[in-house]
Amino acid sequence: MTNRLIRHLIGLTAAAALAAGCASPPRVIVVTATPRPTPEATPAPLPSLADPGAIELLAERLFVELYERASPSVVHITSRAQVFDFFRGVVPNEGAGSGFFFDDLGHIVTNYHVVEGADEIEVVLADGTRAGARVIGADAYSDLAVLRADGLSPEQIKPLPMGTTKNLKVGMRVLAIGNPFGLDRTLTTGVISALGRTIEREDQAALGEVIQTDAAINPGNSGGPLLNLRGEVIGVNTAIRSPSGGSVGIGFAVPADTVTRVVPELIAKGRYDHPWLGLTAYEITPDMARALQLPVDRGLLIAQLQPGGAADRAGVRGATQQLRVRGGYLLIGGDILTAVDGRPIATRDQLTIYLENNKRVGETVTLSLVRDNRPLTLTATLAARP
């Protein structure tokens, strides 16, 4: 390989890194066939990035370097528990997932559902080291948990840098690293397919502001990192939508901003306190508004208040009457919540997601209400959800 060609490759790689938005060009190691110095030569012009195949080769080099840098930070998690089977009695049950080092202290981030109910947890590092681990903190709502592995040396702990979701755009390239079907540290690539998705869950309130990606995510990927082209964690892979149980190109990740908000609390306290108004309400529809002669056709009709809760202390009024309907009673006569901090609220999920992503316990919110057909504004100090 001549020096001119070597410089050609180095220049091409640097140009690719700048085009991809990297902070610095990828490192290139060149081994020459002879130690003898050669005269300096004028480098040839850089090839155009529009040349056939040039962009693909540069992207390939970038993905290789990102994987080599990030994969040692990803761990394979195995959880074991004793479960009851109607026919066989108590039997062992084993599950698998992924996780990644969050900080220099060895804390590992994963999904709550990966370790939920586990009696025993084992992590396997990239170098093959197996270590027992314990749950330091967990939060079912955000589907996040933090583990601490035993007996690891500082050299084995390789935390991934955290990114932010504030500047993400649909179409940005992303990489997922995890252990699908037990295949350790598998790399898949794709793009951000959508932002601000809401995941409906049977046993939890809806999880909002979720990242959707077409990077292949399968059972075992849960808890692994979703990375941008700078190698930063922008999400934690958590769920897929699939009729078959395997990837069909619709995967979801808990956003990095949620991770950086929740995980430090899990490390410090073992739990995350969720902001809560302390009320239950019906979602108003146009049909309901006509039937009850309500002054608005969108909003939340307050039914009950938690005694001493945030809404109760703020002076919000709950139902004053019971209306008999088919199948039971409807609590009516309470205030109608139409907006929080000026943001229209039409569903319970919208209320929960707004508070989760914008407020903390102890902060105040402005409630826009309708009482007796008149607008009313109250200020509530958020408490922690029981």
Active-site annotation holder among 98, 142, 222, 368 = 222
Query: Catalytic residue at 143?
Result: yes
Active-site annotation holder among 79, 107, 143, 312 = 143
Active-site annotation holder among 76, 107, 113, 274 = 113
Query: How many angstroms separate the CA atoms of 136 and 269, rounded?
Result: 9
Sorted by sequence, the CB contacts under 8 Å of residue 203 that are 6+ apart come out as none
Query: Catalytic residue at 274?
Result: no
Pairing of strands 186-199, 233-240: unpaired
Sorted by sequence, the CB contacts under 8 Å of residue 282 that are 6+ apart come out as 288, 300, 301, 303, 330, 331
In angstroms and rounded to an integer, the radius of gyration of the C-alpha atoms of the chain is 26
Sorted by sequence, the CB contacts under 8 Å of residue 278 that are 6+ apart come out as 305, 306, 308, 309, 310, 311, 312, 383
Pairing of strands 130-139, 144-149: antiparallel
CA atoms within 13 A on the CB side of 200: 1
Report the Cα 284 to chain-centroid distance in Å.
Answer: 30
Helices of type H across the chain? 3-20, 54-70, 112-115, 256-269, 286-292, 310-314, 348-358
Q: Strand, helix or coil at 85?
A: strand
Q: Which residues of 1-23 are buried (b: 16+ CB within 10 A; e: fewer)?
A: eeeeeebbeebbbbbbbeebebe
Q: Tell me if 92 sits within 8 A of 47, measured CB to CB.
A: no
Q: Minimal CA–CA distance to 38: which of 79, 4, 87, 76?
A: 4
**Annotated active-site positions, please?**
113, 143, 222
